[in-house]
């Protein structure tokens, strides 16, 4: 230590009062924290998806709370108090308790008819693009992913979601899951648009929002996330969306259960797979589910296109939907087991309190009721009715098998849970999500083996039947993945391995044209980064742009580099050469500077367009030699 050092230390000690320790600046500490977070958001993909997934999940969870409360409140008033009906509710959804009002069965068809008129008017007036959007809200979300660049107009989920609350609340045979997945997807699309994310990122956030809605409304976070990313394909799933979808689903589930508790929908005992001799019966259940699924989809398509599409052409949208609501309401009064979602009846079946013949009648009735509701154009989802029909099909098989072979089939109620997953796997081509969802609903994996077997068989037998019209086979059939049809070897090559490190001439924004000419004569470079405030790169100046004013002597002291520079374009060492190629194509530059990711004011070097072409040619040659 030099002689001056003790004096400095002594001065520091004298400048502070005795016994006083100055605290660090809290504003500076918070500023550095937010700066590090912002830098991580920009530079680390997984961190960015963490933030976006949490935001989308929080919004989707709050909307799921509002949607669920709206449905239950509507059912309480319309079906219980006004119509005087007493319908069973599953143990996890008994929110409102009241004695039924005076029996007025005409309230149900009247309410659904009026809701049909309102649906036709609002849809035709404000969101006509949603008329032919597919089977239900989930199908509309699938269409937006594949064919609309992940864009969902905000009015669509708002109007459709509100109408679904009224439709289900008045007894329409529809589910909450389709509308809430569309609402969540709309939130993801809206957030991505406001944040000016890329089309690719908007599609991922759309799926994350749908996952949040499904995970919350089912109280099954993992199953909801997996269903959202696999339902868009028949033979594939969107792997890139797994992280934000899981995060969104967990956050939405947490918010939903904060309001309504963590109890599962069904109050049922835990089931387990007890004997390998049961496997043939579960295989028979898969065959029955595939047959029922075929009838379910074909009946819906006939009612939608064979009946209501023709009525719409003759009577108009409003009156055709109103007729559908009136028909559904009348049918529901005669057969109350098909009203609304029907989870209460499903729980009774699981507990063994519904006879086999009534189960068969409910299967047929639910198929007809759902076709009248959704096929006519009323808002709601096909998800819950599909689970209902599949569960009743499984219950019918389980009850018959238990009667004939009681020593082998000891828990017929478990067949209902397996039937739910197998049926939806077959008609929706989503085997993993519903399987996990059922395991979460039963709070265990005791039925995992029969779930896997039945889902696989049903998926194979139902390969020519699809519930969702906008599904595609795999990524190569999706407009969202057109670029994946070719093998992009440039994605495996990094800029850091091909750029030329070293000194790069950087111009100041305020440099005059005269001074610029002196710089140009001393270098062979053709593209110059331009430095502005805080030493950041604010532009690129191609030499060809300077030639336009090169011989204008009168402008030498008037024009500065800022006036000639184009928008900034740069790369970082960890970027791949495919990203570099896209920037070369977009800008038509021949050179792009490479910046230090830790300090974007520091230019590490420059990469030439020819470097990318040579790397591509070399990689192709290596592939051919290896073959």
Q: What is the pLDDT of residues 294-338, one digit of tens each?
A: 999 999 999 999 999 999 999 999 999 999 999 999 999 999 999
- Cα 38 vs. chain centroid, distance in angstroms? 24
* Domains 45-482 and 489-626 equal at CATH topology level: no
pLDDT at residue 32 in the model: 59
Confidence of residue 3 (pLDDT cuts 50, 70, 90): very low
Which positions ≥6 away from 456 have C-beta within 8 Å? 286, 431
Torsion angles phi and psi, residue 16, rounded to 5: -110, 140
CA–CA dist 251, 58 (Å, integer): 6
Confidence of residue 129 (pLDDT cuts 50, 70, 90): confident
pLDDT at residue 177 in the model: 85
CA–CA dist 361, 65 (Å, integer): 33
pLDDT in tens, 430-451: 888 888 887 787 666 778 888 8
- Say how many CA atoms lie within 13 Å of 424 toward its Cβ: 29
Average pLDDT value for residue range 46-74:
91
Structure-model confidence comparison of residues 9 and 453, the more confident one: 453
* CB-based burial label for 617 (10 Å; 0-12, 13-18, 19+): exposed
Taking alpha carbons only, the member of 428, 335, 369, 382 closest to residue 164 is 382
CATH of region 45-482, choose from 3.30.1330.60, 3.40.920.10, 1.10.3080.10, 1.10.357.10: 1.10.3080.10
What secondary structure letter does DSSP report for 479? G
pLDDT in tens, 535-587: 888 888 888 877 777 666 666 677 888 888 888 888 998 888 888 888 888 88
CA–CA dist 592, 140 (Å, integer): 42
Average pLDDT value for residue range 241-249:
92
Helical axes 279-301 vs 383-404, angle rounded to 10°: 140
Average pLDDT value for residue range 409-413:
86
pLDDT at residue 17 in the model: 47
CA–CA dist 602, 570 (Å, integer): 12
pLDDT at residue 18 in the model: 45
Average pLDDT value for residue range 98-119:
92
pLDDT at residue 77 in the model: 93
Could you give the C-alpha distances from 404 to 13, 398, 401, 409, 604, in angstroms and in order? 93, 10, 5, 9, 78
Confidence of residue 358 (pLDDT cuts 50, 70, 90): very high
pLDDT at residue 188 in the model: 94
Confidence of residue 8 (pLDDT cuts 50, 70, 90): very low
CA dihedral 399, 400, 401, 405 (to 10 degrees): 100
Average pLDDT value for residue range 43-67:
86
Q: Has residue 11 got a pLDDT over 70?
A: no
Residues 211, 245 contacting (CB under 8 angstroms) = yes
What secondary structure letter does DSSP report for 234? S
Q: Which two tokens stand for residue 225?
A: 């996330």
pLDDT at residue 42 in the model: 56
pLDDT in tens, 464-494: 888 888 888 887 778 777 655 444 677 778 8
Residues 324, 377 contacting (CB under 8 angstroms) = yes
CA–CA dist 448, 146 (Å, integer): 32
CA–CA dist 471, 271 (Å, integer): 33
What secondary structure letter does DSSP report for 75? H
CA–CA dist 190, 154 (Å, integer): 7
What residue segments make up the domains of the chain, in order of their start? 45-482, 489-626
What secondary structure letter does DSSP report for 482? G
Confidence of residue 290 (pLDDT cuts 50, 70, 90): very high
pLDDT at residue 467 in the model: 87
CA–CA dist 375, 200 (Å, integer): 32
Residues 189, 151 contacting (CB under 8 angstroms) = yes
CATH number corresponding to 489-626: 3.10.580.10
- Say how many CA atoms lie within 13 Å of 602 toward its Cβ: 8
First to last CA, the chain: 66
Residues 158, 123 contacting (CB under 8 angstroms) = no
pLDDT at residue 601 in the model: 83
pLDDT at residue 597 in the model: 85
Prediction pTM value: 0.73
Confidence of residue 461 (pLDDT cuts 50, 70, 90): very high
pLDDT at residue 2 in the model: 43
Rg from Cα positions in the chain: 32
Q: Are strands 500-501 and 599-608 parallel, antiparallel or unpaired?
A: antiparallel
């Amino acid at each position: 230590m030099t002689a001056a050092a003790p004096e400095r230390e002594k001065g520091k000690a004298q400048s502070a009062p005795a016994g006083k320790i100055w605290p660090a600046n809290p504003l500076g500490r918070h500023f550095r924290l937010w700066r590090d977070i912002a830098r991580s958001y920009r530079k680390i993909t997984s961190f960015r998806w963490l933030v976006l997934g949490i935001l989308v999940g929080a919004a989707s969870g709050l909307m799921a709370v509002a949607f669920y409360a709206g449905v239950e409140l509507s059912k309480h008033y319309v079906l219980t108090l006004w119509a005087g009906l007493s319908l069973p509710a599953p143990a996890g959804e008994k929110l409102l308790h009241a004695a039924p009002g005076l029996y007025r069965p005409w309230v149900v068809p009247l309410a659904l008819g009026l809701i049909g008129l309102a649906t036709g008017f609002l849809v035709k007036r404000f969101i006509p693009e949603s008329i032919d959007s597919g089977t239900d809200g989930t199908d509309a979300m699938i269409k937006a992913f594949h064919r609309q660049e992940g864009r969902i107009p905000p009015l669509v989920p708002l109007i459709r979601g509100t109408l679904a609350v009224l439709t289900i609340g008045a007894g329409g045979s529809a589910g909450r899951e389709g509308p809430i997945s569309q609402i969540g997807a709309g939130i993801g699309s809206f957030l991505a648009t406001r944040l000016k994310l890329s089309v690719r990122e908007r599609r991922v956030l759309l799926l994350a929002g749908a996952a949040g809605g499904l995970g919350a409304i089912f109280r099954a976070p993992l199953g909801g996330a997996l269903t959202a990313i696999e339902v868009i394909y028949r033979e594939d799933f969107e792997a890139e969306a797994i992280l934000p979808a899981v995060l969104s689903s967990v956050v939405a589930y947490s918010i939903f259960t904060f309001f309504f508790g963590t109890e599962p929908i069904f109050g049922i005992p835990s089931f387990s797979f007890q004997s390998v001799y049961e496997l043939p019966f579960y295989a028979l259940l898969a065959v029955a589910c595939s047959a029922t699924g075929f009838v379910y989809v074909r009946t819906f398509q006939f009612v939608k296109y064979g009946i209501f599409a023709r009525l719409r052409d003759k009577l108009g949208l409003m009156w055709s939907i109103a007729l559908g609501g009136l028909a559904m309401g009348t049918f529901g009064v005669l057969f109350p087991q098909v009203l609304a979602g029907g989870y209460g009846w499903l729980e009774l079946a699981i507990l063994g309190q519904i006879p086999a013949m009534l189960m068969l009648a409910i299967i047929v009735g639910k198929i007809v009721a759902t076709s009248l509701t959704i096929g006519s154009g009323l808002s709601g989802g096909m998800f819950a009715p599909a689970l209902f029909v599949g569960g009743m099909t499984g219950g019918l098989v389980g009850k018959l098998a238990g009667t004939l072979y009681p020593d082998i089939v000891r828990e017929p109620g478990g067949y209902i849970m397996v039937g739910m997953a197998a049926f939806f796997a077959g008609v929706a081509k989503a085997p993993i999500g519903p399987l996990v969802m059922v395991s979460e609903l039963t709070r265990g994996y005791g039925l995992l083996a029969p779930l896997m077997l039945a889902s696989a068989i049903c998926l194979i037998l139902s390969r020519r039947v699809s519930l969702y019209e906008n599904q595609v086979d795999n990524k190569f059939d999706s407009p969202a993945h057109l670029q994946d049809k070719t093998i992009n070897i440039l994605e495996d090559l990094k800029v850091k391995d091909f750029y030329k490190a070293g000194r790069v001439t950087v111009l100041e924004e305020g440099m005059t044209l005269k001074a610029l000419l002196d710089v140009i004569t001393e270098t062979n470079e053709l593209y110059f980064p331009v430095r502005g405030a805080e030493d950041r790169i604010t532009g690129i100046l191609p030499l060809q742009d300077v030639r336009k004013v090169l011989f204008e002597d009168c402008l030498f002291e008037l024009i500065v580099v800022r006036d000639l520079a184009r928008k900034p374009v740069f790369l970082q060492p960890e970027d791949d050469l495919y990203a570099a190629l896209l920037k070369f194509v977009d800008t038509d530059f021949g050179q792009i500077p490479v910046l230090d990711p830790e300090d974007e004011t520091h230019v590490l070097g420059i990469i030439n367009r020819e470097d990318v072409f040579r790397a591509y040619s070399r990689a192709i040659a290596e592939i051919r030699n290896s073959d």
